[in-house]
A and B are shown apart, each in its own frame.
Chain A
Amino acid sequence: MKIEVTKDWCIRMARLEVETGADMGIGGAPAVANPDAVALDPSSGSMPETNIAFGRFVRLMRRKRRQTVESLAEDAEIDVAELVEIEEDNHHRPEPRTVYQLAKHFDLPTPSLMQLAGLSAAKNASFYAEAIRFAARSETVEDLNDIERAALEAFVSVLNDRK
């Protein structure tokens, strides 16, 4: 498709861009939190148990599906480096977009996973109690054992109950 654009038009519009200091990004997900989410102060150390639970949860869900870190990152359309940080670093604060993609991939309600990831506050304390219980039961070993599988399935049902 041939498009006729004059030099004058291009330069006038370019000068407008310079004058306004414009940025033109469109689409995708920005690196900002969900405006509906209740922001937590990362410096306050709030909800460390949910951070541990979130990393373990993602790891167990991946292993249950017999996926590598790379293949989960590819399927969920997320950055592999961040996935490694989520699984390995309990203090890592994940990107909202990453949590959104993981929720979509695991077919779970996004608000529940946002809460587990520490990006928004849960409405009641029982959620944190469930997260702590899950984190305590789910040690990271090579294969999912029966206890881990039961803990994972119980916690998935808790997340789904919060739809």
Chain B
Amino acid sequence: MSIETSPVFLLEVATDQPIEADLLDGIAEQQLVHWEDEWMPVLRDVVARMKAAGIERSKWPQSLHWDWRQKAQGFERALANPGFCVMCQGMTQGMMFLDLLHKARIASQAGKELVYIEYLENAPWNRRHIAGDQVRFAGVGSILVRAAIELSREEGFKGRIGLHSLPQSNPWYANTCGMTDLGADPDYPHQLRYFEMTPEQAEAFLAKGNTS
């Protein structure tokens, strides 16, 4: 299966300038190598420094245990689990795995199909709580969420998406994405909060980037 590329733009935070990037509708060996060789050393270094400084574990990067290679190998034959990534300046800036077999939980949409975002991670140098004022690129998360919405529309799910957010990310999905917070999910590890986006909320999210 070939991977298609769509042109997108990221914001280079240091210069406040748009930078050309690509949205790919797949995750290949190159992205997994970037995760292993570029992302993980940064994350391990950050954790080592936080540990040495006595910073509590709840403040550590919450995606430390994700294993993209394992997920990619597990999903690679499953057509129900497409992936997307954002590439910029030859480096993977963010990745996302999806699942097309989930159903909506919001009462008004209950039982209808949606695109469930199984995993989404930004490169460590793009995360404020890791890179601080040295954040390299902004916009990766929004582009990946938009990709999930666009896929939902293409599949006939009208833009419905669902996800379990890591605690550090709850405000973004609730406030900026305008998703419905269905609360802590007792059936999910560590009872992460479950968020869902209706077709109307998907429209509103897309419109948010069109208004000046």
Mark A residues whose CB is within 8 Å of B. Answer: 1-5, 7-18, 20-36, 77-79, 95-97, 100
B148 to chain A: closest residue by CB:
A26
B63 interfacial contact with A, CB 8 Å: yes
Contact A10 B18 (CB under 8 A): yes
Chain B 3-29 interface residues, beta-carbon cutoff 8 Å to A: 4, 6-11, 13, 18, 23, 25
Decide: A16 near B167, CB < 8 A? Known: A25-B62, A32-B190: no
Decide: A1 near B150, CB < 8 A? Known: A10-B10, A21-B128, A27-B163: yes
The contact string, 1 if C-beta is below 8 Å from chain A, for chain B 157-178, is 0000001111111011001100
Q: A27 touches which one: B57, B70, B118, B212 (CB < 8 A)?
A: B118
B120 interfacial contact with A, CB 8 Å: yes
Contact B139 A13 (CB under 8 A): yes
Instruction: Say which size band chain B's interface belongs to.
Output: 35 or more
Total cross-chain contacts (CB, 8 A):
181
Contact A25 B143 (CB under 8 A): no
Point out the residues of chain B lying under 8 angstroms from A31, CB to CB. Answer: 57-58, 60-62, 64-65
Point out the residues of chain A lying under 8 angstroms from B18, CB to CB. Answer: 7, 10-11
Contact A25 B120 (CB under 8 A): yes
Contact A27 B8 (CB under 8 A): no
B197 interfacial contact with A, CB 8 Å: no
Point out the residues of chain A lying under 8 angstroms from B135, CB to CB. Answer: 18
Q: B139 touches which one: A10, A26, A28 (CB < 8 A)?
A: A10
Contact A22 B141 (CB under 8 A): yes
Contact A77 B192 (CB under 8 A): no
Q: List 25 A-B contacts (CB under 8 A).
A: A1-B150, A3-B146, A4-B6, A5-B8, A9-B209, A10-B209, A13-B142, A14-B11, A14-B137, A16-B176, A16-B209, A18-B135, A22-B169, A22-B172, A23-B122, A23-B129, A24-B140, A24-B141, A24-B145, A26-B163, A28-B63, A30-B168, A30-B190, A34-B190, A35-B184
